[in-house]
Amino acid sequence: MTTEASKSDVQKRIRTTALRQAQEIEERKKLQTQIADFVVEAFDLPSQPDADPARPQPSDAALFKQCLGLFQPSDLDDLIYERNIDNRCGYALCPRPNQKMSHNGELIWNKQAGKNFKLVNKAEMERWCSPLCQQRTIFVRAQLGTEPAWLRDIRAVDIKLYDEVAGESLADSLNVSLPSSISALSPICRMLQFP
């Protein structure tokens, strides 16, 4: 009798575990579908063809931030790729076309002289209309979660746009407290200031 009861308990636990895993997989699929839908919604931004990426429409900025709440960096890369196929800047709040370089090589000059001179990847430069939109995207990417959406608390995500924090210290704008040992290093602190 005890063996039948223990077999029944084991089967019940197995069934419960299988159901829980199936529900988790279903939730994961729903989130992945929602992320794909958000990529499509962000693809259509901005809502106005003459929008200024430095001062986006509040509704566009809110929608973009909502989309970013579930994104990982790879999802942002998918959005950039889709916009580039459509010959648009990779930054979702910019209506301008992305750059097209006439140079056939893989590396191009960054159009700066002196110690700022660099050879940069042509494909990377062609993803945006300008270095400023590239900075805006990098700023957003730095705030994205690296864990999949189903493994993190998505309600707590508060994405800030680059132009919303211009002039503030990076640490203050992202609500990061710097230890006193770091804040004493003035060159590093100056690097954390936006121009």
**Interval 11-42: pLDDT, tens:** 889 999 999 999 988 988 998 899 999 999 99
Residues 56, 140, single domain; the answer is yes
**pTM exceeds 0.75:** no
Q: Which residues does residue 75 pair with via DSSP β-bridges, in sequence order?
A: none
Range of the domain at 70: 2-97+132-153
Which of 19-33, 54-68, 167-181 is predicted least confidently? 167-181
Whether residues 60 and 93 share a domain: the answer is yes
Cβ atoms within 10 Å, residue 119: 11
Q: Within this chain, do residues 12 and 68 fall inside the same structural domain, yes or no?
A: yes
- What does the pLDDT average to over 69-73? 90
Residue 126 falls inside a structural domain? no
pLDDT of res. 193: 42
Q: Look up the CATH number of the domain holding residue 21.
A: 1.25.40
Between CA 104 and CA 84 the distance in angstroms is 18
Structural domain contains residue 112:
no
Dist. CA 10–CA 4, nearest whole Å: 10
Do 58 and 138 fall into the same domain?
A: yes
Together in a domain, 139 and 49? yes
Q: What is the average pLDDT score of the chain? A: 80
The predicted pLDDT at position 119 comes to: 73
Burial letters for 8-23: b for 16+ Cβ neighbours within 10 Å, e otherwise?
eeeeeeeeeeeeeeee
11 and 91, same domain (yes or no): yes
In this structure, the answer to whether residues 145 and 169 fall within a common structural domain is no
Q: Is the confidence at residue 160, as pLDDT, over 70?
A: yes
Q: What is the CA radius of gyration of the chain?
A: 23
CB atoms within 10 A of CB 63: 21
In sequence order, what are the residues at sequence separation of 6 or more whose Cβ sits closer than 8 angstroms to the Cβ of residue 118? 109, 110, 112
What is the separation of C-alpha 110 from the centre of its chain, rounded to a whole number of angstroms?
24
Report how far residue 75's alpha carbon sits from residue 69's, in angstroms, rounded to the nearest whole number.
Answer: 11
In degrees to the nearest 10, what's the CA dihedral of 166, 147, 93, 66? -100
pLDDT one-digit tens code per residue, 134-154: 999 999 999 998 888 877 776
149 and 173 together in one domain: no
Do both 17 and 40 map to the same domain?
Answer: yes
Per the listing, tokens 């993190």 go with: 152
**pLDDT tens-digit series, residues 80-123:** 999 999 999 999 999 999 877 776 777 766 666 677 777 777 77
